A and B are shown apart, each in its own frame.
Chain A
């Protein structure tokens, strides 16, 4: 069964304190791995897509990396505005519906 597990469930950081969020996945053929940011009461905002092991993508203070079993979202020198829930999702090559299978997310709080 295709599955995504994110850790930690919640993370508190001081402003400027770098850290990483983990996304472990089990999927029957990875089509793509997606990272989204979600603010309370709003829809997920697309951040990155990764397709193959070794791939990396960056956007401002965020950097996403991918291995064959997990992905990391590295946050460098975070600011309070980075506080949000970060969602990881996978898409399977063997699923004709191309649905996204999401983890439960990591709630990030960055304190000033």
Chain B
């Protein structure tokens, strides 16, 4: 059974650029959630995808968008990067969108300069 994998592990972008982060969910899981974790803080919910549809969204602007593919892998896209977007971006997969345990990937460390 494969775990949740994210790519890339580290990324440096310039303010105003666009970035795409990728996530492969754990085998058998059909739900993917994305979180942003600033240094010293707990993860903050960005959005969730269930069966290729957005199933909920946190308090993030529209320049944060996502996709889920038929194989349940997912992308997080961020447009017009700002310095405050620098953070660890975490992907979590679960069996359903309900209260089952979510398993996290190792994260992508994004630095915006």
Contacts and interface: CB of A to CB of B under 8 A. Distances in A.
Interface residues of B, number: 30
Interface string B80-95: 0000000010101000
A102 B42 CA distance: 5
A28 to B, nearest CB: 15
A1 B55 CA distance: 20
A97 B101 contact: no
Contact of A34 (B41, B90, B101, B106): B101
A100 B48 CA distance: 11
B97 interface: yes
Contact of A43 (B45, B99, B105): B105
| Range of interface residues on A (Cβ < 8 Å) | 20 to 34
Contacts of A103: 42
Nearest to A88: B42
Interface in A75-112: 87, 89, 91, 95-105
Contacts of A91: 99
A31 B99 contact: yes
A97 B46 CA distance: 11
B90 A44 contact: yes
A76 to B, nearest CB: 23
15 contacts: A31-B99, A36-B104, A42-B107, A43-B6, A44-B104, A46-B104, A51-B99, A91-B99, A97-B45, A97-B55, A97-B97, A99-B48, A100-B35, A100-B45, A104-B42
Interface of A: 4, 31-32, 34, 36, 41-46, 49, 51, 87, 89, 91, 95-105
